[in-house]
Structure 1
Amino acid sequence: MRRAAVIVAGTALLGATALSNTALADPAKGEYRQLVGVGSDTTQDVTNKLGRLSVDSNGSPDKQLIASYDATGTATIKTRKTGCADIARPNGSSAGITALINDIAAKAKCVDFARSSRGPQDTTTMDLTWIPFAKDGVTFAVRSDSALPKSLTKTQLIKIYNCQTRKLNGVTITPLIPQAGSGTRSFWLKQMGLVEGSLPSCVTDRGGAVEEHDGRALTGKGDIMPFSIPQYISQQNTAKTKVTDRRGKAVLGELDGHVPTFNGSLNLKFPITRDVYNVVKTSRLTSTVIKSAFIGKNSQICVNVLKAEVREFGFGKAANCGTTVLKGKS
């Protein structure tokens, strides 16, 4: 029964081309909003949806509060109609946080928050605040046509990523990690007991070519990679979520006997889960617009994340949604 519960990628209901007019992505050219967010691939789609449901301070449902820019797309983005030059598109949590830090240093006011799937790494100051809003889970993914096991223990997984297990079922394993700047990369390395800068020789991001939560990176039958369970669900539900299906032949694996999903959403009892965040400048916590969007259980994000149309993206609600306790420098 558990084996049957492993998620298998099917044919996409709608291709990326068919979704071009309706997909959740960057605001349309010429559209500018009160709050600008960049960063994490993991939360870009659900944040785009939440942004569409959140209204600006004028209270008009036609005026969306949040402009959330995808992790990938055009090389640069323009976030304000005036006063802001084009900036390089940040790809990943750390890249988004860096963009926010740079914006603060320049006093540009062109980026208001960073989407992040990781917590603070440097806590020497309290310049930034990580505000949780959803619960994510991460498991391993392999190709559906691979002989690699679709069920592992965490101990087995750690041995794979530490290059102690090089073959399973006669298949040589290639452990993949996402591109630099990815919050999932730093989160996964920590889960595997690894440290950036001294990775085992078998672990690779293929020169930065492995984009997080993109199953098309699994080009070989020995490839294995981390994958956000809600991101997989979002892509599986593309007819409703309007996100691009990038699963390719990826299937999600069971871990320690736990299936990754339950009733179409993240299995909250899965062994590897994490909060995901919106990161803001700490001194802006008193801002009316920041409070309206992110802070407290009655904030627009915390209220909207429970809506049925948002649950299609697979995330659970963070138990501490809207709190402002977690702080750091970067």
Structure 2
Amino acid sequence: MNVKSVKRVGVVLGAAALGVTVLGAPAQADPAAGVFRPVVAVGSDTTQYVMNGIGNAGGTIASYDAIGSSTIDTRAAAGVCDAVARPNGSSAGINALNADIADTAVNCIDAARSSRLPNNTSTTDLSWYRFALDAVTGSVRNDSALTFHAFTKAELQSIYKCETTVVDGVAVFPLLPQAGSGTRTYWAGEMGISATTPPSCVKDVDVDGVAVQEHDGGALKREGDIMPYSVAQYIAQGNGLADVPDRREAAQLVDVDGVAPVVSNTLNTAFPIKREVYNVIETARAGEADLIKAFIGSTSDSCNSSVITTYGFGTLSNCGTRAAQGES
């Protein structure tokens, strides 16, 4: 490996600046055993930590991580919702929500966290409510010569289309996150490739054959590896938050078209590749008080600007409004 120097985009904030507990206390992922809340949310890895924080602040939302035990227990009644398969990613969460809707016996899942808009708009069964702004960029190893390369969006697209295979003398290996990831879908769209059948050089396993989990720098094992990374996740993982494990490892975010994704440890809203993130609910239930408190309107729990920015995301002036409707 051509080792240059080690650098980071993010600067760790102090506890006083964040107003939250930092590392040293045990991390809180799923709600504590025996803790049940009115609204259950699952799905996106991208928004799991910020929604955990929003849930803890507002007391309405029980947000369950994308990775962890194979099943989750979402309701207090024994035997009712104590073996729900844990969805990993936006699409997996939306599929789980649809499956729960089809099972009319009980609502074990009320919402899906999603970092993408609907893929299927053939019905209006589900509604996407926006709550924060994210950006996505490529990440490379921080000891790679690629950290010094001035990437353009067109060049990244060429890499993901398998047209550019060497950059500054380094063979490049484009990676995508696991199937079911909203970031996979979003990044593939930005790169001009199919998320389901990407070009042959694009892999969703690392060099050792391990599935690439989104926003986990452990997948970057070769000098030429490159993978998408949520800018908000990268910031949050470096902020020393007790409930956000630092999964960056050697990952370094890259500038695109001369624009940095992070400025003063804050998401740069001028970055050219950015997206809204959402919570998805059944449209027929949009009038329910608990779902309104959780997701709908600027005063909903999900629009808590202090929590949103603490976890690296940007705020939206139209937070809590419906962005789209669809089937999946």
Same-fold call, TM cutoff 0.5: yes
Counterpart AA for 1:147: A
Correspondence 1:71-110 to 2 at 5 A: 71-82=66-77, 83-107=80-104, 108-110=106-108
Cα distance, 1:195 vs. partner?
Answer: 1.2
Aligned twin of 1:294: 295
Cα distance, 1:199 vs. partner?
Answer: 1.5
Cα distance, 1:276 vs. partner?
Answer: 0.2
Cα distance in 1 between the residues matched to 2:176 and 2:264: 28
| 1:132 pairs with 2:127 | no
Cα distance, 1:320 vs. partner?
Answer: 2.0
Q: Any idea what the Cα deviations from partners look like across 1:5-61, whole Å, max 9, x if unmatched?
A: x734799x9xxxx9585323101111111110000000000000011111xxxxxxx
Cα distance, 1:264 vs. partner?
Answer: 1.7
Cα distance, 1:200 vs. partner?
Answer: 1.0
Counterpart AA for 1:161: Y
Cα distance, 1:150 vs. partner?
Answer: 4.2
Q: Any idea what the Cα deviations from partners look like across 1:113-170, whole Å, max 9, x if unmatched?
A: 0000000110000000000000000000000111124430000000000000001121
Aligned twin of 2:272: 271
Cα distance, 1:65 vs. partner?
Answer: 1.1
Cα distance, 1:197 vs. partner?
Answer: 3.6
Aligned twin of 1:65: 60
Counterpart AA for 1:102: A
Cα distance in 2 between the residues matched to 1:297 and 1:138: 25
Pick the aligned partner of 1:52 from 56, 63, 70. 56
Correspondence 1:170-319 to 2 at 5 A: 170-206=169-205, 209-238=211-240, 240=241, 242-302=243-303, 304=304, 306-307=305-306, 309-319=307-317
Shift in alpha-carbon separation, 1:125–1:20, aligned structure 2, 3 A: farther
Cα distance, 1:85 vs. partner?
Answer: 3.9
**SS of corresponding position for 2:121:** coil
User: So what's the TM-score if we normalise by structure 2?
Assistant: 0.89
Aligned twin of 1:117: 115
Counterpart AA for 2:84: I
Structure 1 residue ranges, 4+ long, deviating more than 2 angstroms after superposition = 6-11, 18-22
Aligned twin of 1:58: none
**SS of corresponding position for 1:132:** strand
Cα distance in 2 between the residues matched to 1:151 and 1:192: 17
Cα distance, 1:267 vs. partner?
Answer: 0.2
RMSD of aligned residue pairs (Cα, Å): 2.1
Pick the aligned partner of 1:32 from 36, 59, 75. 36
Cα distance, 1:236 vs. partner?
Answer: 0.5
Q: Any idea what the Cα deviations from partners look like across 1:78-115, whole Å, max 9, x if unmatched?
A: 11121224111100000000000000001230000000
**SS of corresponding position for 2:317:** coil
The answer as to whether partners of 1:79 and 1:111 remain within 8 angstroms in 2 is yes
Cα distance in 1 between the residues matched to 2:198 and 2:64: 31
The answer as to whether partners of 2:309 and 2:315 remain within 8 angstroms in 1 is no
The answer as to whether partners of 2:41 and 2:112 remain within 8 angstroms in 1 is yes
The answer as to whether partners of 2:135 and 2:274 remain within 8 angstroms in 1 is yes
Cα distance, 1:184 vs. partner?
Answer: 0.1
**SS of corresponding position for 1:317:** coil
* Structure 2: unaligned runs, 5 residues or longer: 15-21
Cα distance in 2 between the residues matched to 1:75 and 1:21: 25
Q: Any idea what the Cα deviations from partners look like across 1:215-265, whole Å, max 9, x if unmatched?
A: 111011110000000000000102x45310000011000000100112321
| 1:153 pairs with 2:152 | yes
Counterpart AA for 2:69: T
Pick the aligned partner of 2:46 from 38, 42, 48. 42
Shift in alpha-carbon separation, 1:96–1:208, aligned structure 2, 3 A: farther
User: So what's the TM-score if we normalise by structure 1?
Assistant: 0.89
Cα distance in 1 between the residues matched to 2:53 and 2:323: 25
The answer as to whether partners of 1:241 and 1:312 remain within 8 angstroms in 2 is no
The answer as to whether partners of 1:180 and 1:208 remain within 8 angstroms in 2 is no
Question: How many equivalent pairs are there?
Answer: 309
Counterpart AA for 2:95: T
The answer as to whether partners of 1:116 and 1:276 remain within 8 angstroms in 2 is yes
